[in-house]
């Protein structure tokens, strides 16, 4: 009688899959390989879930985005104008010339104006003291700056010079701003007055009462405001400020 044939067996480590090494061994190996690959795929898919993004985080109106929009907009453009002054020829008493006017004194010191006496001193017809003519005129620096000043012309040009402009400080809160909930938002922010060189000259000289009624300390105070935003296809746009 022929002795029984013993067949060697093969196995994959840590696997329940076993098969005899015979003519069918390659098919078995292929079956085991497919099973392992499928098992690995299922396991890998279970451990790595792709991030699901609705785009709301990307398009959300953040404080930094709102601050940049407010800061760069031309809507935050309120100004404080100083006391009006005029150029041209005018009569003054010898003890009270043009430079006793705070704005003229400040502009002359900063090189925007020149003040020249015209003609001799003459006695006053009535009262005490003498009279003298002065001419106030813009220097080349003043002519360039005056393009940004408000001017009213009557018998002579009267100029209204900005002494402070509105300066953005910070965003204090946002209502809305989530695209998943709507396309509008209200942003609360703070601002303060930023003195121009002319405004600093007026206030530092102690002439706050002439600087639009504002003192140096009051101009540093922070005030609150609101800005409205709306979401468009290219992002959030500022609509208005109040």
131 in a structural domain: yes
Q: What is the pLDDT of residue 56?
A: 55
Q: Which residues contact 220 (CB under 8 A, 6 or more apart)?
A: 192, 193
pTM: 0.62
Q: Are residues 99 and 143 in the same domain?
A: yes
Closest CA to 208 of 48, 80, 112: 80
Q: Are residues 182 and 140 in the same domain?
A: no
Q: Are residues 123 and 227 in the same domain?
A: no
172 in a structural domain: yes
101 in a structural domain: yes
Q: How far apart are CA 162 and CA 212, in angstroms?
A: 10
Q: Are residues 182 and 138 in the same domain?
A: no
Q: What is the pLDDT of residue 195?
A: 85
Q: Are residues 119 and 177 in the same domain?
A: no
Q: Are residues 152 and 170 in the same domain?
A: no
Q: Are residues 144 and 178 in the same domain?
A: no
Q: How far apart are CA 5 and CA 176, in angstroms?
A: 81
Q: Are residues 168 and 143 in the same domain?
A: no
Q: Are residues 107 and 146 in the same domain?
A: yes
List the domain range (segments joined by +) for residue 172.
58-79+164-195+213-241
Mean pLDDT, contiguous 10-residue spans, the chain (242 residues): 48 45 47 42 39 58 94 85 88 85 90 92 78 94 94 87 90 92 93 88 65 63 92 92 89
- Number of structural domains in the chain: 2
CB 229 within 8 A of CB 236: yes
Q: Are residues 74 and 178 in the same domain?
A: yes
Q: Which residues contact 126 (CB under 8 A, 6 or more apart)?
A: none
Q: Are residues 92 and 187 in the same domain?
A: no
- Pairs from 211-219 (Cβ < 8 Å, separation ≥ 24): 211/80, 211/82, 211/83, 211/102, 211/163, 211/164, 212/80, 212/81, 212/82, 212/83, 212/163, 212/164, 214/80, 214/164, 219/80, 219/164, 219/192, 219/193, 219/195
32 in a structural domain: no
Q: Are residues 131 and 176 in the same domain?
A: no
Last residue of some domain: 160, 176, 203?
160
SS3 at position 98: helix
């Amino acid at each position: 009688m022929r002795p029984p044939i013993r067949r060697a067996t093969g196995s994959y480590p840590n696997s329940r899959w076993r098969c005899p090494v015979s003519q069918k061994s390659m098919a078995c190996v292929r079956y085991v390989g497919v099973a392992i690959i499928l098992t690995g795929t299922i396991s890998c898919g279970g451990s790595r879930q792709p991030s699901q993004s609705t785009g709301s985080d990307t398009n959300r109106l953040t404080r930094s985005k709102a601050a940049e929009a407010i800061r760069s907009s031309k809507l935050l453009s309120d100004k404080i104008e100083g006391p009006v002054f005029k150029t041209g020829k005018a009569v003054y008493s010898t003890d009270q010339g043009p430079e006793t006017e705070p704005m003229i004194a400040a502009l002359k010191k900063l090189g925007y104006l020149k003040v020249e006496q015209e003609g001799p001193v003459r006695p006053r017809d009535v009262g005490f003291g003498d009279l003298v003519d002065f001419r106030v005129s813009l220097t080349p620096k003043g002519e360039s700056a005056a393009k940004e000043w408000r001017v009213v012309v009557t018998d002579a040009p009267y100029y209204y010079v900005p002494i402070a402009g509105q300066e953005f400080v910070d965003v204090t809160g946002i209502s809305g701003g989530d695209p998943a909930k709507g396309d509008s938002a209200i942003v609360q922010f703070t601002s303060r007055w930023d003195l121009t060189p002319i405004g600093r000259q007026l206030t530092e000289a102690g002439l706050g009462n002439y600087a639009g009624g504002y003192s140096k300390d009051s101009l540093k105070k922070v005030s609150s405001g609101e800005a409205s935003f709306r979401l468009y296809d290219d992002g959030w746009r500022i609509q208005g400020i109040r």
